[in-house]
Structure 1
């Protein structure tokens, strides 16, 4: 199973991430980005649990496609790696104008028919 982890760059609740990642099968691979907060915590926990990790970084092409919002290109590329599940962690998800990167990843996944689980705290 390939699981995309997305969320807030200011997220600090490692307990919530560990709870969800520990429920994945031992052969699972998490795919995540290159930011502090959810991405960084997820990488550390996944490694501790012995899960596979694919940490992806924003590329020059991402910024060519989206000059101000390179994260959109990264979200698209991560989802195209064959994601089976998206776990999104963001306390401000659903608030107008907030959690833009997380909302973008969730909407892409939903449009592709990928299961999404959202955690607000």
Structure 2
């Protein structure tokens, strides 16, 4: 199972990640981006659980496709890798003007009928 982790660059707690990773099967592959916060924590916790990690980075093509918002291209590419589940961690999810990258990933996942779980704490 491929699980995309997305969320806040200022997320500090690993407790919620551990709680959710404990529910996943041992053959899980964690896919995440290249930012501090939830991406960095997800990589550390995934290794603690023995999960494979597929870290992805923004590319020049992402910035060409989405000038000034390369994260959108990264979200598109991460979801295109065959994601089975999205776990989104953002304390400000749903607040106007906040969590733009997380909301973008969630919207794309929902459009693709990929299950999504959102955590605000």
TM-score (ref. length: structure 1) = 0.99
Within 5 Å, which residues of 2 pair with 1:1-121? 1-121=1-121
Q: Per-residue deviation at 1:21?
A: 1.0
Structure 1 residue ranges without an equivalent (≥5): none
SS at match of 1:93: coil
Where has structure 1 moved over 6 Å in runs of 4 or more?
none
SS at match of 2:31: strand
Q: Per-residue deviation at 1:13?
A: 1.2
- How far apart are the structure 2 equivalents of 1:48 and 1:67? 36
Count of residue correspondences? 121
Q: Per-residue deviation at 1:22?
A: 1.6
Post-superposition Cα deviations, 1:61-80, rounded to whole Å, max 9, x if no partner, equal 00001110000000000000
- How far apart are the structure 1 equivalents of 2:22 and 2:101? 24
- How far apart are the structure 2 equivalents of 1:26 and 1:75? 24
- How far apart are the structure 2 equivalents of 1:77 and 1:85? 15
Post-superposition Cα deviations, 1:67-116, rounded to whole Å, max 9, x if no partner, equal 10000000000000000000000000000010000000000000000000
- How far apart are the structure 1 equivalents of 2:107 and 2:75? 10
CA-atom RMSD, angstroms? 0.4
